[in-house]
Amino acid sequence: MATYKAPLRDMRFVLNELLDTERLRRLPGCDEVTPDVVDSVLDEAAKVCEEVLFPLNRSGDEEGCHLVNGEVQTPKGFREAYRTFAESGWTSLAADPDYGGQGLPKTLTVLMEEMFCSSNLSFGTYTGLSRGAYFALRTHGPDDIKRRFLPNLVSGTWAGTMCLTEPQCGTDLGLVRTKAVSQADGTYRITGTKIFITAGDHDLTENILHLVLARLPDAPAGIKGISLFLVPKLLVREDGTLGARNGVGATAIEHKMGLKASATCVLDFEDAVGYLIGEPNKGMRAMFTMMNDERVSVGVQGLGLAEVSYQNAVAYARERLQGRSVAGAKHPDQPADPLIVHPDIRRMLLTMRAYIEGTRALAAWVSLAIDEAARHPDADTRRSGDEFVALMTPIVKAFLTDIGFESTNLGMQVLGGHGYIREHGMEQYVRDARIGQIYEGTNGVQALDLVGRKLPAGYLARFLEPVSAFIAAHRADAGLAEFVTPLDEAFGRLQEATAVIGRAGFTDPEEAVSGATEYLRLIGLVALAYLWARMAKAAVPKAGAGDDARFYRAKVDTARFFMQRVLPQTASLLAAINAGGRSITGFDEASF
C-alpha cells in the first residue's frame, strides 16, 4: 500500500538555511511570514495532504471522471475533499487580501503546491488552474470584472480554466479559429471548440470561469490577432449572483494515460457570452501571465510525484528481502538481505534523492525571485527578478518534469514486478508524471524558448552572476573543494556551450536550436550543482554532532553523490552541443 509523509524537515532547511528568509520578510506584505507562521502553515498543509487528499489518490485514479447528461462527475470523495480544502482557506493562499486572499508569498506556497502534487495531483489540477486564472484576471481584467468575479474565485466557490488548444492547433496558437463577435452591450459572443481543457467541467464548484483565446472578425492573421475572453459556465449578474447557463458545455472527456481523476474535456462554445480581458488582439500577452505561472507549477508537479515515488521506493527497499549482499550477508539472521543493501538499488534511490532535494531548492530559489519581482519597492530589483524568472521558467517547467518522469520510473524499477502492478501505486505515478513533459508547452518548446528568446535577451547574466560569485568566493575553501571544484568545471562547460549556441544563432538558427534540449538540461544541472554546493556549505558545520547531525550528514552525502555521479552528465551534453546539428537537420526526410 502506498504511503506519503510531507518532507517538512527538508522544506524548512530550504527556507531557513538555504534561502535568505530575512530577504523575503523585508518585502512589502511579507513581514508577518515569521518562522512560527511558516511552520504552522506547513504543518496544516501536511495534515490536509496526508489525511484528506492522499487517501483519494488511488481510488480517484481507478474510478475516474464521468460525463453524465453534459455534466462531469468527479470521483467519490472529491466533492467533500474540495469543500474541506476551500473552507480551510487553501484556495486563497497566494491571492490579494483585497479579494479575500491571504497574500502569502510564492516562496512559501510553492512548497505547499509540492505537497498537493505529491498527495493527489489530479485533485491539484482543479485548484491549480483556478490560481492561474486568478492571476490573469487580477493583472489584466478591468475593475468591474475583478469586482464581480475574483472574490468567489479566491474563496474556491468558483473555479477557473485555461482554454487554448483546438483540434487543428496546439503549440501554434496563431491557428486558433474560435470566433468572438462584439455586442452592443460591450460583451462578446464566443463560438468554437477547445480540446484538452484541464478541469473544463466538474461538480466541485458552483461556477467555472473559462479564459478563452479567440479571434475577432477583423483581427490580423496569426498570433497577433488573438484576444482573451472570460466566459463563465453560468452567467453572473451585476450584483455577483448566478444567472442562466451560458452557451458552453463539455461534450466529451479525453481518455488519458494518467491523471484520470482530473477531467480533461472537449468544450463547445456556442454563442457564449464573454468579456474581453486586456486589449483586443493582445490576448497572448494576457494569457502568458497565466501560462508562466502554470509552467512553474507544472514543474513542481514533477517534483511532487518524484518525492512520493521516492518515499515508497525507500520503504519497499527497506522491507523487501531479496538476495544477499555481494560483500557477504548483511542480515544473516534473515533468509535474505533487504533490497537496500544492493549498490544498484542505492544508485537509483540516491539519484532520485539528489534530483528531488536539488529541484526543491531550485523551485524555492526561483519562487523567491518571483516574490521580489512582484513586491520589491526598488524598480531595478523588480526588473532583475523579472529577468531571472523569465530565464528560469522554461528550465523549471522542462527540467523538473523530465526529472519527475525519470524519478518515478526509477521508483517503479526499485519495486521490480511489484512496481508494475497497481497494488503499490508506483505505476500511477509514472502515468501521472508523463503529461508534465507535454502540456503547458512541450519540453522541446521550452528549450526553444530558452535558446531562441531568453538567451538573445541577455537574461542569462542573472543566473551566471550569482554562480560565478559563489565559485570565486569559495574556490580556495579546502573544506568545500569536493563540491566547488565540480561546480566550477560544469560552469565552464555551460559557458562554452553558451558560446557555441550563440555563434550558431548568428549564422544558422537551425544549428543553434538543434542543441536546445541538451542546453536546457545542462543549465538545469549546473543550477542544481550550485544549489547543492550551497546546501553542502550550510550542512557541513552541523554534520558532526547534535540532535540533527544525521540529517546534515545525509545532506552532505547526497551533495557528494550528485557531484560525483549525476553532474558528469554535463560533459556528454557539451559534447552533443559541440557536435552541431548537421546529423539531425541533414538526415534525409524521405528516410524516416
List the catalytic residues: 440
Residue 16's identity, in one-letter code, is: N
In contact, 568 and 528? CB cutoff 8 Å: no
Give the three-state DSSP class for 201: coil
Closest CA to 302 of 394, 420, 434: 434
Whether residue 227 contacts residue 276, with contact meaning beta carbons closer than 8 Å, is answered with yes
SS3 track for 223-248: HHHCEEEEEECEEECCCCCEEEECCE
CB 294 within 8 A of CB 253: no
What HEC string does 483-535 produce?
A: HHHHHHHHHHHHHHHHHHHHHHHHHCHHHHHCCHHHHHHHHHHHHHHHHHHHH
Nearest to residue 126, comparing CAs of 262, 304, 289? 262
Give the whole-angstrom CA distance, residue 194 versus residue 164: 7
Identity at 275, one-letter amino acid code: Y
Q: What does the alpha-carbon distance between residue 420 and residue 428 come to, in Å, rounded to a whole number?
A: 9
Cell of 381: 530589483
Length of the chain, please? 592
- Hey, CA dihedral for 460, 288, 446, 561, is it positive or negative? positive
Among 117, 532, 523, residue whose Cα is nearest residue 299: 117
d(CA 574, CA 158): 48
